[in-house]
Chains A and B, each alone.
Chain A
Amino acid sequence: MDEATFTRHAEAYAGRLYAVAYRLLGNRADAEDAVQRALLKAFAARASYAPRWAVSTWLYRVLSNVCIDELRRRRPPPEPLPTGDARRAPRVEPVDLARALDRVPREARLLLALHYVNGLSYRELAKIRGISVNTVKSQLARGKAILRKALGD
């Protein structure tokens, strides 16, 4: 892939990559940093890009790799499960959901973000993480079950 093509794709996808990174890492500075690092890595490895892949799949994989490694350095949140009024809330508040997402294991959280931010299919998710479609399904189901429990749904 030549430089001009890469730049065009990077410009087209930067916003979507940012949205995933923002939801995973929780703040704008880290999200921008992650997208920057992912694009740098992809740019350096653009010679090894295989055309049988969709460009988006490849960029999402590079971004996932960066975000997961960033999450590795963060300690898990210590506070216990929230209880009480969440049960009676008429709808799920974004703040509660963000907090509940912190309790979802990293792999499932990544899949949830990719699936819901950009509407990627199970097949695409499987390809991005190098796992089977069945694993994608079970991870998403597990992630959602943990969210439901955390939100008292």
Chain B
Amino acid sequence: MDRMDTALREFFADTAAPRGLARRLVGRLAGGPPTLAALAGRFRIEATDRGVLRLYPGRGVAAASARAQRHAAQAQEELGEYLAGRRAFFFVAVDLAGVAPFQARVLAEARRIPFGETESYAELARRIGRPRAARAVGNALGANPVPIIVPCHRVIRGDGSWGHYAFGGRMKTQLLALERATPALVGCTSTRIVCRRGCAHEQRVAEPNRVVFASVPDARSVGYRPCRVCRPDAAA
């Protein structure tokens, strides 16, 4: 027991919970968070051989070939898992071949914003080397052909307000809240492997064996290794 121990013990000792906290929190348990899972079937997905071409409110899929159909089916499944809070990334390919070069760069950069985080239009403009083009970035994101999969909802205004969203501000709020409540990296205590949320291996981890990590280096520092299937160490 040294000075540091004493200091730490004193420092950590003096936090009293606000009065009535327990009763207040327990009272809210029955309600549960609002769920987005019901939305899963309400999108129409258009796909080509290269990947998902468009995603918009509606129903069903439009895919000419068997390969395109596989892309559409994969997108549907991943969307359902994402909206149910069981997935933090999309594996499915997107077809951005018909998109203008500037918009393609904006969308590619938007895909690099990590799950659960947000960035401003101005920051994104700076990252693509066009610091004065914040408004153009907003327009490019507004015309995003594959919302959710390309996460334009993670881009918000510099003052912290939402800005425009194709599916409405409420949906943007719900998506960001969902991402806040969903962990991105999950480790399994029996295998000591860390996966991205949504990986086939992660989905098999039993509930009591789940631990969440903030980053792959964090997980490594306590003896976990990254999964070789979903490659959390290679992800942006």
Contacts and interface: CB of A to CB of B under 8 A. Distances in A.
Contacts of B13: 116-117
Interface stretch (B134-142, B215-223, B227-235): B215-223
Main secondary structure of the interface of B (DSSP, over half): mixed
B116 A73 contact: yes
A43 B116 CA distance: 23
B208 A107 contact: no
Contact of B206 (A7, A48, A64, A94): A48
Contacts, number: 137
Q: Taking chain A's interface residues, is the majority helix, strand, or loop, or is none over half, making it mixed?
A: helix
B21 A14 contact: yes
A1 B29 CA distance: 15
B159 interface: no
A11 B8 contact: no
Interface stretch (B60-68, B100-108, B163-171, B182-190): B182-190
A124 B4 CA distance: 22
B218 A92 contact: no
Interface residues of A, number: 56
Given A35-B25, A73-B117, 6 more contacts: A28-B18, A37-B181, A69-B184, A72-B215, A97-B7, A117-B15
Interface of A: 7, 10-12, 14-15, 18-19, 22-23, 28, 32, 35-37, 39-40, 43-45, 48-50, 53, 58, 61, 64-66, 68-69, 71-73, 91-92, 94, 97-98, 105-107, 112-113, 116-117, 129-132, 135, 139, 144, 147-148, 153
Interface of B: 3-4, 7-13, 15-18, 21-23, 25-26, 28-29, 32-33, 116-117, 180-181, 183-185, 187-189, 192, 206-215, 218, 221-223
